[in-house]
Chains A and B, each alone.
Chain A
Amino acid sequence: MRRGLSLVLALIAAAAAFVPSSALAQASETAVKAAFLPRFARYVTWPAAAVPKNDDPFVLCVIGDDPFGGALDQAARSQSIDGKRIIVRRMGTAAGVDGCQVAFVGGTPSQPVGQLLAAIGRKPVLTVTDARGGGQRGLIHFSIVGGRVRFFIDQAGAERRGLTISSRLLALAVGVRQ
């Protein structure tokens, strides 16, 4: 695990210091986002009904296009939440979102991000979107600020869905909508 992370970090460092090419930058950007995704779960409290029971794992869903690939699986494996594993599920529609605690909404040409978010509605799911995927924002929205991967948080939206986001995470956000 450590080796993996160090690899990621080394990639980040390499990307920042020596390889300013856009392709490489985008690749490392995706890796960082992949590393972030399972970690968000630690700073979020779900309603009791939405928390996985017993030995059930936390479910991290990727709805629509998956920009992460194996990097996300690797990141998920390296993390755990309250001793529960994290598994990654990829799905084309929002139909199976009920089993997800965290959902990266990628959008597809047929189903844009906004539509998918609308489909998820007020379900207690921590939705994550990316600025590269369009202007529609989930509860957490990746953005590049100052050449670094940062994120916005919609705290009000989270509350409406029964989610509580830790102030520590809020402190890391570029902006918080309240």
Chain B
Amino acid sequence: MKAIPKRISAWRSAPVAIFIAAIMIVLVGVAVIIQSDNSYRDARRDFAISQAQILAASAAAAVDFNDPVAAQEAVNPLRVITTLRSAAVYGRDGQLIAGYDRSGEAVPALEQGIAPASSDLMRVSAPVEMAGQRIGTAYIQLDRQPVWRRVSRYGTLAVLVAAASLIILGLGFAQRALRSANRELANRAEALAQANEMLGEQMEERAKAEDQLRQSQKMQALGQLTGGIAHDFNNLLTVIQGSADMLCKKELPEAKRVRFAKAIVQASENAAALTSQLLAFARRQPLKPERLDLNRVLAELQDLIDRTMGERVQVSMKLDGPGCSVEADKAQLQSAILNIASNARDAMIDGGRLRISTREANEPGGRMIAIDFADTGHGMDAETLDRVFEPFFTTKGAGKGTGLGLSQVYGFASQSGGEVRAESAVGKGTTVSLLLPCLGEAEVRQVGEPVERAAAPQRSAAILVVEDNDEVGVFAESLLSELGHKVTRASSAEEALHLSRSNDFDLVFSDVVMPGMGGLKLAEVLAAEKPALPVVLATGYSQEIAETGSGGRPVILKPYRLATLSDAIAAALHEGHEAAG
């Protein structure tokens, strides 16, 4: 930007120079024309003189013998000269011998005087000589070329000079125009920079506003979720509290006591399932592919799907596809399924039916299992269908959707070696198919399921329970005591370390998430200090474990049941014993 004014100042004197150059060219042109005209006049004069000399020579004999006819014959050829005004041959004493005048007037005798030469006449004379004697005079008068003829002769040159001057002047004006254009350009560039700056500010403001909007949307979603969870949990807690209250009553018949206890167990199981699904939906499960039975995953999600779809949509599941296992991240698979279902719901504002079914599909890529989600919604036109998997593409109003749902599905399907397809027509509903590679017959895995069996004979062990929450700590302590163990409780990892150094424990049972040092860190330190001391971890949800794992240590998920705790403790003691032994 700064270079431009410099350049302009360098060119500032250019128009003056160009003007001077134009004047110089005109002057040179005029000088050339004058010079050329002069030399032309000289040439004309030389021509006239030579003609007079020729006349003098050819008329010499005629003058000598005073022969007017012969003299006239010498004069006559000169008539071919177009500019000849008059020609004459005079004798020794100036008397006219022969002559010619274009206008037809008589040529006067030399001694009578010939009209003085005017500006448009050129008059030359040559002596007629014979044997060294002057015997007469030859006279020639030529028209000078009229000025306009002379000017027209130099017309081409004049036109060239004029053209050159015009070009140069034109260049000067163009230069001037260019300069002002440059200035204008600089101004506009500045204006543009300002506009750009303003735009940048606006974009920043917009980004800020969007951030705020997103934040408020997040808060809104969080509020909805929180409200929903609170509602469900309140229902479950009502059952648990009521049953517990009933259990506290004395002289309750055994049958009723068992029924209330079972009601508490059932409600707790439902609550546990609910939190598990929430976590899956939140994708806070360890992100690693695992072999899954697709039908089973769908079955597990049925409740959540039902809840998601609301009362107006009737959901039916027909899971009679092949028992295929797929390798996928479970949380993502669940998320994908819920996303597709949510979209189906949004397409059926006035209610409808969603049919979820599995089937085997033989694709070029190999054997696949497909989950079809067929809704009876308003459907999509071809254009929308083309873009339906594009990130941030949404047909929903502002704040109604992120536009990321189906793109998550697409990304997940691609990552998992499968694909997702959508078929739709306006008014005819939509069918979305999620295809995943089929790895073979499903192995039904019982993960985290409490195994109903007789409690193994328990070896009494010294167990250090680390739990910052008093209630849970007391509960764990009572459970472990019930199992016949000798329990010591620490309310922090630091305290646990201190205790472990002064006491011999057979096992440490620690919570993961605690203020200060966490359970994982405690396990690491203990492993360094006492490698033979087994550690069992318990957590409701831990980002750390989800991301890095537990380092091979057994983890019990809260809420845990007596049997689960008992098995995990027994296994750890057994392994620790074997390792020690």
Contact = CB atoms under 8 A, between A and B. Distances in A.
Interface in B73-105: 73, 91-93, 95
A72 B84 CA distance: 41
B66 A9 contact: yes
Given A9-B66, A80-B131, A82-B131, A171 B91 contact: no
A90 interface: no
Interface string A2-38: 1001100100100000000000000000001000100
B105 to A, nearest CB: 21
Interface residues of A, number: 18
A2 B65 CA distance: 15
A171 B93 CA distance: 23
A144 interface: no
A132 interface: no
A171 B131 contact: no
A90 to B, nearest CB: 24
Given A42-B130, A80-B131, A168 B91 contact: no
A11 B131 CA distance: 25
A121 B70 CA distance: 31
Contact of A171 (B66, B70, B92): B70
Nearest to A171: B70
A172 B131 contact: no
Contact of A36 (B65, B92, B95, B130): B65
A39 B67 CA distance: 13
Nearest to B132: A83
A122 B60 CA distance: 30
A81 interface: yes
B134 to A, nearest CB: 10
B64 interface: yes
A81 B132 CA distance: 10
Contacts of A2: 92-93
Given A80-B131, A171-B73, A172-B70, A9 B61 contact: no
A150 B92 CA distance: 20
A168 B60 contact: yes
A37 B38 CA distance: 49
B131 A9 contact: no
A120 B143 CA distance: 55
B95 A171 contact: no
B77 to A, nearest CB: 12
A166 interface: yes
B62 interface: yes
A87 B130 CA distance: 19
B135 to A, nearest CB: 9
B61 A5 contact: no
Interface in B381-423: none
Given A36-B65, A172-B67, A6 B130 contact: no
Interface in A124-178: 166, 168-169, 171-172
Nearest to B61: A168
Contact of A6 (B62, B70, B93, B131): B93
B92 A42 contact: no
Contacts of B60: 168
A6 B60 CA distance: 18
A9 B91 contact: yes
Nearest to B74: A171
A168 B130 CA distance: 12
Contacts of B131: 42, 80-82
A43 B67 CA distance: 15
Interface string B48-75: 0000000000101110111100100100
A39 B65 contact: yes
A74 B211 CA distance: 140
Contacts of B95: 9
A64 to B, nearest CB: 24
B65 A171 contact: no
B70 A9 contact: no
A39 B61 CA distance: 9
Nearest to B64: A39
Contacts of A166: 61
B399 to A, nearest CB: 125
B62 A5 contact: no
A42 B64 contact: yes
Most buried by A among B60, B66, B73: B66
Nearest to A32: B66
Given A6-B92, A171-B73, 8 more contacts: A2-B92, A5-B92, A9-B66, A9-B95, A32-B66, A42-B64, A168-B61, A171-B61
Interface of B: 58, 60-62, 64-67, 70, 73, 91-93, 95, 130-131
Interface of A: 2, 5-6, 9, 12, 32, 36, 39, 42-43, 80-82, 166, 168-169, 171-172
15 contacts: A2-B93, A6-B92, A32-B66, A39-B64, A42-B64, A42-B131, A81-B131, A82-B131, A168-B58, A168-B60, A171-B62, A171-B70, A172-B61, A172-B62, A172-B65
